[in-house]
A and B are shown apart, each in its own frame.
Chain A
Amino acid sequence: MASAKILTRRAAILAGFGGAGALLWNVNSLTLSPSFAHVFHAVEDWTRISQRTLLSPGQLAREYSPADISPTFKPNGTINPGGDDYNGHVAQNFANWRLKIDGMVSRPLSLSVADLRRLPSRTQITKHDCVEGWTAIGMWQGVQLGLLLKAAGVAMGARYAVFHCADNLDGEPQKGGIQSPGQYYESIDLNDAFHPQTIIAYNFNGKTLDVPHGAPLRLRVERQLGYKHAKYLQRIELTDSFAHIAGGQGGYWEDRGYEWYAGA
């Protein structure tokens, strides 16, 4: 009896250390293995569910005073989409730029930047947390997305707002992972889409939004990381699923392994 019990415990200890050793030894291949992706997805779900449980739908991200604005605001990702089409819009001061709102809506909209500037606006000074680890604080002015979505009339069953952008990031050459088409896009759920601080920004730090920061229009979704804040917005598509878009993970970086829910 006694010896059987000791053997069991010894086996358990050996199995524990063997498992830990195997985990460490194979960490590189496990990182890329599809079966481990399920484990990581479960952790992302845990983050999302815990934050969504703790956050009341309207709870605001902290807003700062003008004195807190950082002297620099690092432009990241695409800093100029370029190309004849975009350069033409730059030359025209985006006078003919259109933001389309379509998909699962009852009244599809096509708005100019001037149209958006005539609507009630919200100004907020918030911190921008990049997934890389840096932070900048800036002042953003724009139209609440909720206002636009109410005007368009979100259809029953719609779950996500997908943001289609004018920039093409081409993927990182050093990444050996799945390379979906490089057109930038992002998506958020309706909880975030109707959040008071979720705005389509056209002004940055008191001036017209500049090209490196996403001219003429960029999304601000303040309770998530920087890569969710899509720049160079052309179209907002309401949908019940983003599985059919590009790599199917809901965003340019999501298709390259980053979390769709970027609250952490």
Chain B
Amino acid sequence: MDHLQAETAITADIGVTGDVPAVAPAASEGFYRHRAVVRLTHWINALAILFLLGSGLNIFNAQPNLYWGRYGSNANPPDHAFFSIGAFNTPDGPRGMTQIGSWQFDTTGVLGWSKVSGEYTARGWPSGITIPSFQDLADVRHWHFLFAAVLAINGLIYLSWSLWRRHLQHDIWPTMADLKAIPRAVLDHLKLKHPRGEAAKRYNVLQRLAYLGVIALITLMVLTGLTMSPGFDAVFPWLLDIFGGRQSARSIHFICAALIVLFVIVHLAEVVLAGPINEVRSMLTGYFVLPREHP
């Protein structure tokens, strides 16, 4: 709705100027693209995700294995971890090893065996990417739960506002025409061609799908996070059923986190490619300067 008002306002401005040629609005008065609630929840979400990823990797280090099913407590049979990070003694000294399914990689220096304050230590994810950098399960859980609460409350505000103001239905949910344009949009993205003029006023279909996807991922993160809590399992035992057990839920939690990292990488790359100043400014002030149409 605000979009329409903004568009009408700009059109009206142009209309008023009448006989004089339409002038592009000044930078600060560009197309009003992001409403205040979207901007605010976006940045709170970004901060929460950053802290949750860093603290999540630190928590993972307390049990650097992933299992499928109801139980799992050991990397080796009979429990069968499908993903595992560990340190092992070899004739050449300790090495960090990472196992995915039946593949094993030597990841010394990064995963399993890496430097903490200059000294090699047995450690799942390296200290440079965990929050806090030192290993302490008690402390890191505090950060994780603090920002989990921030993420959940912020997400609920965003979702309920988006449904109420039809942001989700109007701006995010793809139309049939959008879906038919997927091959074209994929091609344009591969050529790094970004929409210009009128087309830049709305999210393209790949953006819509990516944003829907990340909303779904964050929802899954919250639900699988709750499933790892014995208290919430007693309240909502069906959570254990939908995710196939607490260890499956923990693994899905980790896989969704990895997909969110992938989203963030692509998201940031697109911001850089599409014009970082214009993009970041629009997420701060709401106003976006429309890239001119090609002549």
Contacts and interface: CB of A to CB of B under 8 A. Distances in A.
The answer to whether A and B assemble together is yes
B229 interface: yes
B189 interface: no
Contacts of B247: 134-135
Given A20-B47, A51-B232, A133-B60, A264 B71 contact: no
A40 B142 contact: yes
A74 B74 contact: yes
Most buried by A among B60, B62, B71, B134: B71
Given A27-B132, A72-B73, A133-B63, A16 B43 contact: yes
B237 A72 contact: no
Interface string B133-149: 11111111111011001
Contacts of B235: 51, 54-55, 59
B246 interface: yes
Contacts of B231: 47, 51, 55, 223-224, 263-264
Most buried by B among A43, A135, A257: A135
Interface in B124-173: 131-143, 145-146, 149
A134 to B, nearest CB: 4
B233 interface: yes
Interface in A27-49: 27-28, 31-32, 39-40, 43-44, 46-47
A182 to B, nearest CB: 16
A257 B139 CA distance: 7
Contact of A72 (B63, B79, B149): B79
A151 interface: no
Contacts of B146: 39-40, 43
Given A40-B142, A134-B72, A264-B145, A13 B284 contact: yes
Contacts of B138: 253, 256-258
Given A135-B70, A135-B247, A264-B231, A257 B59 contact: no
A167 interface: no
B246 A135 contact: yes
A263 B229 contact: yes
A175 B136 contact: yes
Interface string B59-71: 1101101010011
A136 interface: yes
A54 B59 CA distance: 26
Contact of A132 (B62, B70, B232, B246): B62
B246 A129 contact: yes
Contact of B71 (A43, A55, A127, A258): A127
A28 B132 contact: yes
B123 to A, nearest CB: 11
A191 B137 CA distance: 27
A127 B145 contact: no
A72 B67 CA distance: 14
A73 B72 CA distance: 9
A79 to B, nearest CB: 14
B234 interface: yes
Contact of A62 (B67, B139, B240): B240
Given A20-B47, A132-B137, A61 B233 contact: yes
Interface string B188-214: 000000000000000000000000000
A60 B63 contact: no
B139 A31 contact: yes
A96 to B, nearest CB: 33
Contacts of B59: 133
Interface in B220-249: 228-235, 237, 240, 245-247
Most buried by A among B72, B229, B234: B234
A24 B139 CA distance: 15
B132 A70 contact: no
Contacts of A61: 230, 233-234
Contacts of A132: 62-63, 137
Contacts of B232: 51, 54, 263-264
A257 B136 contact: yes
Contacts of B91: none
B73 A74 contact: yes
Given A28-B133, A129-B230, A264-B232, A62 B63 contact: no
Most buried by B among A13, A262, A263: A263
A229 to B, nearest CB: 11
Most buried by B among A60, A72, A133: A133
A62 B78 contact: no
Contacts of A31: 132, 136, 139-140, 142-143
A51 to B, nearest CB: 4
10 contacts: A43-B142, A44-B145, A62-B237, A74-B74, A133-B63, A136-B73, A222-B234, A253-B138, A257-B142, A263-B232
Interface of B: 43, 47, 50-51, 59-60, 62-63, 65, 67, 70-74, 78-79, 131-143, 145-146, 149, 228-235, 237, 240, 245-247, 250, 284-285
